[in-house]
Amino acid sequence: MFVDPMLMTEREEAFDDERYLFEPLVDGHRLLLVMKNDIVRLYTRHGYDITRQYPELHNVPLRNPAQLVLDGEVAFLDPETGKADFQILQKRFRLRKLPGIREAKKTYPLRFFVFDLIFYNDYDLRAWSLMERKCLAMKVLEENDYFKHLLFIEGEGRRMFDIAMQLGLEGIVCKAKESRYISGRSEDWVKVAAK
């Protein structure tokens, strides 16, 4: 079941606020992973099914079998530098033929940085706070080479922004800890991009 994702607004300056958590801005593209009856479907933020393009994300490392919807960002990290390479990701996205997809899975493996859990088994979690959803996601999803929980810090947006700039990242995302998951743009999720 595809859900229109929650989107960010933009802000010029980083800020500190105990009511917020702060995540690095990953240079990838938005991905919703839907798992139902042990079958995985992958969708772009606009609802396009791209399951075929990313076979390494078909085996979700769950602690227990479940049906769920995960929200996050998919990216290719250069093994030499550890930095996201958007051009490689775009090449992966455009592949359509299975031999090329299988080869690219080995040559340019992707990572899915999970930052939200919006459905779990028969429960719609969109009315839960962001922190409640993140805590459940950490209990449900194990990490492996392809799936990572997106790291965050609480309260210290300026510090997170400085770290992001030192690492050459795109910026940060500032999210209200009590925010509910709503489709479309929200003032509760704010992007602060590098200048």
- Could you read off the pLDDT of 27-61 as tens digits, one per residue? 999 999 999 999 999 999 999 999 999 999 999 99
Closest listed residue to residue 111, CA positions, set 167, 81, 150:
150
**Is 138 a domain residue?**
yes
Predicted TM-score (pTM) of the model is 0.96
**Is 124 a domain residue?**
yes
Residue-range definition of the domain harbouring residue 75 = 6-193
Predicted pLDDT of residue 95: 94
User: pLDDT-derived band of residue 195, with 50, 70 and 90 as boundaries?
Assistant: confident
User: pLDDT-derived band of residue 6, with 50, 70 and 90 as boundaries?
Assistant: very high
**Is 1 a domain residue?**
no
Q: Are strands 184-193 and 16-24 parallel, antiparallel or unpaired?
A: unpaired
Strands (E), the chain: 6-10, 16-24, 29-36, 39-43, 68-75, 111-120, 123-124, 147-149, 153-156, 171-176, 184-193
Distance CA 63, CA 147 (A): 13
Average pLDDT rounded to a whole number, residues 91-120: 96
**Is 155 a domain residue?**
yes
CATH number of the domain where residue 62 is located: 3.30.470.30
- Please give the C-alpha separations between residue 137 and each of 70, 116, 162, in angstroms, as whole numbers: 8, 7, 27
- Kindly tell me if the per-residue pLDDT of 2 is higher than 90: no
**Is 137 a domain residue?**
yes
Distance CA 158, CA 24 (A): 12
User: pLDDT-derived band of residue 1, with 50, 70 and 90 as boundaries?
Assistant: confident
Contact 51, 42 (CB under 8 A): yes
Q: Helices (DSSP H) in the chain: which residue ranges?
A: 86-94, 98-107, 130-140, 157-166
The tally of domains found in the chain comes to 1
